[in-house]
Structure formats: structure tokens, C-alpha cells
Amino acid sequence: MDGSTVSRTVGVVGASGYAGVELLRLCAAHPDFNVVVATAGTHAGEKVAVHTPSLAGAYPSLSYAATDPVALEGLDVVFLALPHGESQHLVPEMMSRVGVIVDLAADFRLHNADLYPIWYGAEHTAPELLAHFVYGLPELHREELRDTRLIAVPGCYPTAAILALAPFVRAGVISSSAIIVDAASGVSGAGRAPKEALHFGTVDEDFTAYGLLDHRHTAEMEQSLSAEVLFTPHLAPMVRGILATCYARPSIPVQGRSTLTTESALHILEHFYRDEPFVVVSEAPPSTKAAAGSNCAHITVRVDPRTGWLVAIAAIDNLVKGASGQAVQCANLALGLPEVTGLPMAGMYP
């Protein structure tokens, strides 16, 4: 497809959840996207503006429809913002009906079907399609995304961790074993459905770890980094944001001593991301507030001369760069549009 300004018809499946709502918000500001179908199984028939008043100005008359592949017939791009396990049942029916499919769930992120029972507790129902999906991290897979109709958007935690560590993995300066990722997320990462663990009285003034040793996003990190990863997620008392602090051992050169320093590590980061519109490399420690509302990842790195550890830190908005913004970024590439179209560079402050 060429990059001329032509309205692309868009469908958002699972539009009532946090990721779906964020997709609708971003599409409303996109000059080439026209949302014509928004589905939500439990809210079918309800007006979007009533369910989510923040979208009332952009979608005064749009109503949620039932999820039906036939209703998506002929659309240029369809975003799937569904819970894990649902996309793999829909995609086979959709492939011949729509142009580009962008799945925000984990259904097609892993290349090896044998990993799904281990990390997601069930066999994959369409394993033959896994090899056809491109992992939707543009900073690492941009050229593949330009030539695909099937995109699997990374998880929020993996996005932050992979962006922080990939430059050092690709430069061969860190060990592929014993990588540690500690990351904290705002409560919106758990979705919109009410849960006791997410009540204000539970989350406020609290900070807790969860998913110890077996969080499903571990598999994505290990796949992208070709490394062994110990991942511990935490729930922070905030709405948006992820801060990932990643630890790795520098590779030991032949002479038995690592020559990696903070200065050289920052140079690796700056060089790797020098042309990336949505990555900000800085000496200053990144904050989730800096990333809130934007599609940018803010990254820094340190090398501790005392312990020898490399510490790479990334902050993103889990709903934008960690989900819906990255999905739009990928769709732009697949549709032949300028990659930055419709995406916010600046965050919200305060």
C-alpha cells in the first residue's frame, strides 16, 4: 500500500476494556483511521459515549456491536483487544475477511506452540498460524512489520524489558544467563473488569509482588532476548505506567575483565536508538510520569564498577507504548503510513 492520505476503515474488537478504550482514543486523533466497528460482547448495543464518557466527544453516536467476524468484512485493519485465548479462535475466521490483523493479546506472540501449555495453561488452537505473525516491536522488527498482515503486539512488561536490554544483547556485551527483571505496573495493566485485588482500598498505599517465578510474560522476554530471565512483577498504586529495572552481567572478555562502563553502555543505547522516534535515552533515571500518555519509552543504563552488574531501566505507559500505541505504530507500518502518524510524542503532566 502507498502512504497517501486515504481513510482506512478500522475495527476494534474488545473495545470496552482499557486497551480497547485507549485504541479508540488514539484512533480518534489519527488522520487516516476511521473506526466503523467497535465490538464488546457484554456491552453490545450500549453507546460508547455512555460507557466511557471520555470518548463522548470523539464518538457521540458509535455503539458497541456484538463480536462477529462477518461484521468486520472488508475492513482495512482490525485491532483485537481481547483477553488471552480468544483471538486464536477468531483469527482463522477473520484472515480472509480483513486487511491487517493486530492482536494485542498473547495468542500469537510465542513462536513455539509447546510453550502455551506451560505459560498459559492450555494448548494453542491454531499453532499453524504462529509462524505467520510478526512480533510487533517496531524498534526490533520494523522491516518485517512493513510486509505483514498479521501482527502480535508485545506485552507491556516485555516491551519495557526488551527495549532496555536488547541493545546490549545484540552488541554481545552482556551474558545470556541470569538476567533479572524487576518491574512495577499501574493497576490498569490488570484490565477493566472489577477485581478485589484492584479495589482502591487494597491498592492504595501498598506495593506488592505477584506472579513469582511463573509470570507468563517471562516467555516473551526469553524469546526476544535469547536469554534466561528471572522476572518479578509488582503492582504499584498508580493508574498508568511501567518501570522496569533490569540487571545483567557483562560478558567477560578473554583477558578476564569486563571493559563495559556506564559511559560505554550509554553510548550503546544512544547509538542503537539514534533514529527511533519513540525512544528517549537519557542519563537521568526515567519516570513513569514522563511517559504517561505518550508512545515513548524512556531508558537509561548504569554499570556498577564494584559489583560488575549492568542496570538498564525503562519507563513506559503500559496502555500506550505497552499496548494500544504500539499497536497503532505497527498498523501504520503494515499499512504503509508514516510510523508516527496519530501517536503522541509528549506525555501528560502533571
Catalytic sites, residue numbers:
156
CA distances from 117 to 121, 133, 157, 226 (A): 4, 19, 20, 20
Q: Could you tell me if 240 and 318 are in contact, meaning their C-beta atoms sit under 8 angstroms apart?
A: yes
**What is the C-alpha separation between 348 and 120, in angstroms, rounded?**
34
Residue that is written with C-alpha cell 484492584 in the block: 198
Residue type at 300?
A: T
- Return the exposure string of 27-41: e unless at least 16 CB atoms fall within 10 Å of the residue's CB, then b: beebebbebbbbbbe
Query: Which three cell numbers, joined as nine digits, stand for 298?
Result: 524512556
Coil, strand, or helix at residue 121? coil
Q: Could you tell me if 332 and 29 are in contact, meaning their C-beta atoms sit under 8 angstroms apart?
A: no
Residue that is written with C-alpha cell 506488592 in the block: 208
- Return the exposure string of 115-148: e unless at least 16 CB atoms fall within 10 Å of the residue's CB, then b: bbeeebeeebebeebbeebbbbbbbbbeeebeeb
Residue that is written with C-alpha cell 533490569 in the block: 246
C-beta neighbour count of 48 within 10 angstroms:
26
DSSP state of 244: E
C-beta neighbour count of 152 within 10 angstroms:
28
**What is the C-alpha separation between 178 and 252, in angstroms, rounded?**
14
**What is the C-alpha separation between 213 and 229, in angstroms, rounded?**
10
**What is the C-alpha separation between 122 and 116, in angstroms, rounded?**
6
**DSSP structure string for 22-39:** HHHHHHHT-TTEEEEEEE
